[in-house]
Amino acid sequence: MTRKLTTSDVDAGASVAAFLALRLGLDAGAAQARIVAGAVYVDGRRERDATRVLRGGERIAVHDPPEGAAAGWRVVREEPDLVVVDKPSGLAVIAGRAGGAALATEVAAAFPGMHPFHRIDRDTSGLVLFARAGGAKRLADALAAGTLVREYLAVVAGAPPERLVLDAPIGPDPADRRRMKAGVPGGKPARTEVAVVRYGTRTTLVRARLATGLTHQIRVHLAAAGHPVVGDTLYGGPTGPRLALHAEHLEWPGPPRASARSPLPAEIEALVA
């Protein structure tokens, strides 16, 4: 649903966020989130600056999220043909057969023509690339050339070596169709480079860099190495409040070369103990 508003002389001097909060009955954070998510237009142009001062007489359109939409995603970087979104844990990138909220649906409503270039698991938080046709080709070329950087932070069980290169092929687990498995005959090549960020007494924070991008790749490789991700019950990880996996860093060629980062959520940071 799109709500259309017009500012008056009384609104002159107020910020866009303050105006929306007052007229729509939102708190300040919710009003700002609508603007950052690209759901607010002022005089036909998407407005990204929540602090922009109104003059009076502006026509404002607000695109409400679809019913059942999950709050919490935000735009980290926007280019003409691609956008980087920071996704919360618990929100699927693509809707399943049962429907429900999906990041792709919400991003497409805010950025027409944008489609996910890659996916991360529902319970993984962090950065997801969306692109239109031109951006998708640029990213695909970068992926083929090995110049698309995708790095994750994870809290894992135990104390792995300071550096690991996990290079086992991955394919469906014949014993459980929900799972993938490392080293299965006919599996696709998969490579994950792992470096320790900080050791705890029982767990370790690691950075995992993908050279390939198969389903559950980081989770499968770390579990096969004897260091499953905390909260990853599917692959034998220790119990945790959530899957302790976060897509922290993306980098892609330009011109100019660009990057995006997402801070490690506090609930994952707290698991390094």
Q: Would you please indicate which residues are annotated as catalytic (active-site) residues?
A: 121
Angle at which helices 28-36 and 16-24 pack, to 10 degrees? 120
Residue 17: name the closest of 58, 50, 59, 53 by CA. Answer: 50
Single-letter residue type at 176: D
DSSP letter at 255 equals: S
- Tell me the CB-side half-sphere exposure of residue 196, using CA atoms within 13 A: 14
d(CA 140, CA 225): 30
Residues 165, 178: Cα–Cα separation, whole Å: 25
Per DSSP, 162 falls in state S
H helix intervals, the chain: 16-24, 28-36, 103-110, 133-145, 217-224, 266-269
